Structure 1
Amino acid sequence: MKAGLFRHGRLTRTSTMPLGDVAAIGAFVASDRPEVVVVGSVASPDPAFANALHAWAPVVEVNGASEGPIRSAYRTRDTLGVDRWANAVAASLLFPGRPTLAISLGTCLTYDLVSADGEHLGGIISPGFRMRARAMGEFTARLMVVDPPDTPALLGTDTEACLASGTHHGLLAELAHTISGFRHKQPGLAVVLTGGDALRFARALESGIFAHPFLTLLGLHALSLPARLASGTSSGPGR
């Protein structure tokens, strides 16, 4: 679980903590009493955790169907993960007037494309880095689960090295192919990577690929503004 503190529209502090850890959240906000707590989660809601958040400040929940500063052509907004929607929004705000591709390298690998005029066009979902490594170990009789180094050799000379190469270079090839395809369709495309494996692959890809570890937090903050204005918990985008 990631948390971020925004002050006058700027992200000033962040923390990573166990999911639903009320004590950790309390320690994080103790010295900076927030005006509002913004929650965006793809997991099932925990009533006890939600009640604890209400003790500190009014709570605004955002999801994949929340109103945002860009439009969306996604046909099933009720199934759109709030993380994907937040990443699409944040990438578009970072590069106004340009088409953007937000790529999150987490449990799953997600791509979300936004046009230059600010419309979320859709995306792609595929297995993430560690999911690929685990699948080969768990769905075969004799292969093992590996944790590949940052830059494994392309040619493996033993089974573990072959698995490491396939996991790393297979995902790298997918990224390069997908980015190239979207750049062909959207000239001037800005590409932003986020998630736990973003830096690993941003370094391996060509120049012009940006990595932003807090892209989702930026997007959640932007998505919360309409609800905060409606509820009176914000006077404008600078809060």
Structure 2
Amino acid sequence: MILVLDAGNTNIVLGVYDGSKLISVCRLSTDSKRTADEYGIQVMELFLHEKLDTSDIKGVIISSVVPNIMYSLEHMIMIYFGIVPIIVGPGVKTGINVKYDNPREVGADRIVNAVAAHEMYNRSLIIIDFGTATTFCAVTAKGDYLGGVICPGIKISADALVEKAAKLPRVEITKPQKVICKNTVASMQSGIVYGYIGQVDYIVGKMKKEMMDLGEDEPFVIATGGLAKLINEESKSIDTIDSILTLTGLKIIYDKNKE
């Protein structure tokens, strides 16, 4: 069995693969103050809850956009699993040709998503990841990572609105039935959700045009991340949702580098 870890700004997602089958998915909150032992105890409890045996894990791969937790995560894996993990970064085989001005600047999660999507669809792609930040990535049919867009995530946008406007309350991120609303809470929800949907559709439209101007076919749009389903309910630009896209990419990269 293989353990894959995707460390984001808000959560660390753990997936366990038995062969090509994903048999377990768990989440921990990301905390740079936790030690290797604290993470280890949490992971052991998750394995116990999922009825998994750590001795069955034969390989581990980690992607992270949070440098401050990498020491603890790497040492947790070495201490509790007895394995030196593969870390997604420079020198790791991905099969993706990164066309960024400085390829080292591209977040590991964006590369991992691109690997999974390219492997599965083998066509022109736009990948949207609704995380703490929302990222849009452009990948050509032959696997060139062209670059993309980084926006404040929908929760960050909502939090900023509350923090900077003294009379506005904190609201649940949910879609009201109408855009024109008759109370403050619903009006905020309308602006947050429908405004974000408009942003997504506009950015995707511009990205499609730029990619097609380069000779690509119209890109297929894949969304992942916690709020992908909410945005997809009204968005006109998302073709499919894949909630485990990053875990899939990590497994593919592990297989390319396990030697």
Secondary structure, aligned partner of 2:75 = helix
Shift in Å, 1:171: 0.6
- Given the alignment, which residue of 202, 210, 224 partners 2:240? 210
Secondary structure, aligned partner of 1:169 = helix
Q: Establish whether residue 123 from structure 1 lines up as the match of residue 152 from structure 2.
A: no
- Hey, what's the Cα distance between the residues in 2 that align with 1:197 and 1:64? 30
Q: Once structures 1 and 2 are overlaid, which stretch shifts more, 35-44 or 61-70?
A: 61-70
TM-score, scaled relative to structure 1: 0.86
TM-score, scaled relative to structure 2: 0.80
Matching of residues 57-136 of structure 1 within 5 Å? 57-63=83-89, 66-96=92-122, 98-136=123-161
Tell me what 1:11 maps to: 22
Q: Establish whether residue 189 from structure 1 lines up as the match of residue 219 from structure 2.
A: yes
Tell me what 1:33 maps to: 56
Tell me, which stretches of 5 or more residues in structure 2 are unaligned?
Answer: 1-11
Q: Establish whether residue 142 from structure 1 lines up as the match of residue 163 from structure 2.
A: no
Shift in Å, 1:64: 6.7
Aligned pair in 2 of structure 1 residues 65, 104: CA closer, same or farther (>3 Å)?
A: farther
Aligned pair in 2 of structure 1 residues 118, 151: CA closer, same or farther (>3 Å)?
A: farther
The alignment covers a number of residue pairs equal to: 228
- Hey, what's the Cα distance between the residues in 2 that align with 1:151 and 1:116? 38
Secondary structure, aligned partner of 1:156 = coil
Q: Once structures 1 and 2 are overlaid, which stretch shifts more, 87-96 or 151-160?
A: 151-160
Contact 1:62 1:224 in 2 (8 A): no
Q: Establish whether residue 22 from structure 1 lines up as the match of residue 33 from structure 2.
A: no
- Hey, what's the Cα distance between the residues in 2 that align with 1:64 and 1:204? 38
Contact 1:89 1:222 in 2 (8 A): yes
Aligned pair in 2 of structure 1 residues 223, 141: CA closer, same or farther (>3 Å)?
A: same
Q: CA RMSD in A?
A: 2.1
Shift in Å, 1:182: 2.6
- Hey, what's the Cα distance between the residues in 2 that align with 1:84 and 1:197? 17
Q: Once structures 1 and 2 are overlaid, which stretch shifts more, 218-227 or 125-134?
A: 218-227
Shift in Å, 1:159: 2.1
| Cα distance per residue 1:188-215 (max 9 Å; x no partner) | 3111111110111122223762111111
Fraction of identical pairs, as percent: 23
Contact 1:70 1:89 in 2 (8 A): yes
